[in-house]
Structure 1
Amino acid sequence: MSQPKITAYLKTYCGWSEGVRAIFRKYNLPYEEKDIIKNPAFRWEMEQKSGQPLSPCVEINDTMLADISGEEVERWMLENHLLEQNDAEPDAPINSSCTDEQHAAMAKQSGAVKFIA
């Protein structure tokens, strides 16, 4: 089975993005990560390729999977015979949103400040 070409448009801190990364780690898949928070040009590229603004988006062998969870990436790759089933547990949740800590880290990195009245 040949290695698929994978480009993942992910956020630095995001439960959904970490779920996608967890699947790539589970299967030891090489991929190119394009952090859409650290580099706004990658967000623009993702939106142009996917036709929408939601992330994560994962391009596998020229097929764009838009607004997708790690669980969905794994299922799609298995259904398309790009992976052989691996029953190992992923090292992070593969189908969940950001935690409060991830949101706080993302806000801190972007320079956003939350004001409480």
Structure 2
Amino acid sequence: MSNLRIVAYLKPSCGWSNGVRAILKKYNLPYEDKDIINFPEYREEMIMKSGQPFSPCVEVNGEMLADISGQELEQWLIAKNYVKKIDKPVDVPIDQACSGEHNHGYPVKVNFEL
């Protein structure tokens, strides 16, 4: 739909982010892809708008969908009647984490000193 304003806060290479991109492509929805890894100001903007640090976050017409998978995004778009469900396959999994996703890409610091 041309009346949708979509801003996606995504990592350049991540299972969750690629799933969101795949859904937006599947439904031919134009969107602004804000790279939160290479542009820290976009990550800060995402945190400020969503109230949390986890990605992907997708803003649709001012409504923030925080920490969402491609599968969840598709379900939400259909439920809001922004798109009609189509059975077109996508080229990547839409609900898969990227490697290291348990710590959301940040190093885990373990202190073994007692």
For normalisation by structure 1, the TM-score amounts to 0.82
Counterpart in the other structure of 2:64: 64
Aligned-partner SS, 2:7: strand
> Percent identity of the aligned residues?
56
Kept after mapping to 2: 8 A contact 1:47/1:53: yes
Counterpart in the other structure of 1:94: 94
Once residues 30 and 91 of structure 1 are traced to their aligned partners in structure 2, the CA distance between those partners, rounded to angstroms, is 18
CA deviation after TM superposition for structure 1 residue 44, in Å? 0.1
Once residues 88 and 18 of structure 2 are traced to their aligned partners in structure 1, the CA distance between those partners, rounded to angstroms, is 17
CA deviation after TM superposition for structure 1 residue 3, in Å? 3.5
Number of aligned residues: 102
Please list every run of 5 or more consecutive structure 1 residues that lacks an aligned counterpart in the other structure: 101-106, 113-117
Counterpart in the other structure of 2:53: 53
Structure richer in helix, relative to its length: 1
Counterpart in the other structure of 1:42: 42
CA deviation after TM superposition for structure 1 residue 89, in Å? 1.0
Once residues 72 and 4 of structure 1 are traced to their aligned partners in structure 2, the CA distance between those partners, rounded to angstroms, is 18
Deviations 1:58-83 (A, max 9, x none): 00011000000000000000000000
Give the 4+ runs in structure 1 shifted more than 6 A: none
Superposed CA RMSD: 1.7
For normalisation by structure 2, the TM-score amounts to 0.84
Deviations 1:43-67 (A, max 9, x none): 0000000000000000001100000
Amino acid at match of 2:85: Q
Aligned-partner SS, 2:9: strand
Please list every run of 5 or more consecutive structure 2 residues that lacks an aligned counterpart in the other structure: 108-114
